[in-house]
Amino acid sequence: MAFTLSIYPWVFYSRSDGNGGWHDTYVEKPHKTPAEEAALSPAQWQALLDQRNSFPELPLVNYTTQYGLGCFEGLKAFPQPDGSLKLFRPDRNGARMERSMIGLKMPGFPMARFVEANRQVVAKNAALGFRPQFQKEWEKDNFQNAEAIYLRPFSYSEPAIGLGLSTHPWVVVVATPVSSYFKEGSTAAVTTDKIRATPKGTGWIKCDANYVIPTLAKKEAEHQGYMEAIFLDAKTGQYIEEGSSCNFFAYLKNGSLVTPELGDTILPGITRESILTIAADLGIKTEVRKLSVDEVLAEATEVFVTGTAAGVSPLESLTHQGQKAAFSGGNHGEVSMALLKSLKGIQYGVAEDKHGWMVNVS
C-alpha cells in the first residue's frame, strides 16, 4: 500500500469569511463498503477514487494553482491495541499550519478547529469501516511496515488570476491509508547543489512552492541510484539543512545526537521535535546547532531522517562531491533503533505516552 492517493469518503472543508470566522462543511463522497470496493475491477476502483477527488465547489484558477500560494500539513491517526484510533500530536500540526497561513498573509486556521476537523474526518470514515485495525504482528519489526491513516489538511485560495494574497481561503482535510514511506532497497543519500530555501524566504513555512525543488532533487538522486537528496545551506554550501521532505540527524562518535538548528530555512518538523524529546528521555545527549557535511562524513556513526511519512529512517551512506561515508551497515544503528522503537511504541499504543501526545479520535 505504501503512500498512495486512496481518499476515504468523508472529507472536510472550511471557508474563511475574511473577518476571523470560518464556515465548516463535512462531505460524504461516493463510496461502497470497504469489502465491496476491494472487489471492484481496477477501472471501477479508479473511477470511484476520481469521484472522491473531485471538488467542483472549489475554483480551479486561483492563487494556489497558479502561483503555489498555499500550505499543507501531514499527520497520522494510529490504530491501537484496544481497537481505538488516536492522532499523534495534532495540536503541533495545527499550530504550524496556523503559522504557515499567517506567514503567507492569509487568515490563520485556528489550531483547536484544526484538531477537531482532523478528529472528525477520522471518526466519520472509521464509522463506515474505512480504517486499519491493529495487528500484533506489526510489533515484530517495531511497526516499520504497520498501517495508519494519513491526513492531509491544505489551504486553497479563492478565484484569482493576477498576483495577490488570499483573504478568503478554504482549508480542506482528506484522509488516505498509508504504511511505509520509503521504498525497500538502497537507503543511500547524496548531497544536492540545488537550494531548497534561502534566508528571509519561506523555508520555515510548509508551503506548496517549497516542494518543487526538493522533488526535482530527489528524483535526480533516485536516477543516480540514491534514495534521498540532502540539502546544504544557501550561503556557504557547507552545512546540512534537511532532506527532500524530512529533517536530518547524525549520531557522532562523541555520543552526541545532532540535528541542524532551526532558522527561516528549515521546516520545524513535529517528528524532529518529538525525537529530541524521546532522546532526552533515553539519556541521549542532544545538540541543536550548525552541522557541516564534513563533520558528518568524518564523525557520524549513524545518520537518519525523520518526518511524519518517513518516521525514523536510517541512511546507509552519504556521498558529497565524490566523498562517501557509510553508516551502520545500511541498517538501523543502536541509537536510531531505540528512538524508532520508542516513537512507534507511543504512536501504536504499546508504550507509555507520558507526554500526552496521543489524542483520542472517539
Could you count the other beta carbons within 10 Å of the beta carbon of residue 129? 11
The one-letter code for the residue type at 138 is W
Find the radius of gyration of the CA atoms of the chain: 21
> What phi, psi does 305 have (nearest 5°)?
-120, 155
Q: What pLDDT is attached to residue 179? A: 84
Q: What pLDDT is attached to residue 184? A: 66
- d(CA 13, CA 62) in angstroms, rounded, equals 17
Stretches in the chain below the pLDDT threshold 50: none
The number of residues making up the chain comes to 362
Cell triple for residue 221? 538522486
The CATH code of the domain at 10-178 is: 3.30.470.10
Element (H, E) at 88: strand 85-88
Q: What pLDDT is attached to residue 182? A: 57
Helices and strands per DSSP (H, E), number in the chain: 9, 17
CA of 97: how far to CAs of 130, 190, 206, in Å? Answer: 26, 30, 8
Q: Which residues contact 336 (CB under 8 A, 6 or more apart)?
A: 249, 251, 302, 304, 312, 314, 328
Question: Residue 213's closest CA among 190, 186, 243, 248?
Answer: 243
Question: Residue 335's closest CA among 306, 357, 362?
Answer: 306
Q: What is the pLDDT of residues 204-214, one digit of tens each?
A: 999 999 999 99
Three-class DSSP category at 1 = coil
What residue spans in the chain does CATH classification 3.20.10.10 cover?
188-347
* Beta carbons of 22 and 15 less than 8 angstroms apart: yes
**186, 248, 337, 91 alpha-carbon torsion, rounded to 10°:** -120
The CATH code of the domain at 188-347 is: 3.20.10.10
Q: What pLDDT is attached to residue 330? A: 65
- pTM comes to 0.95
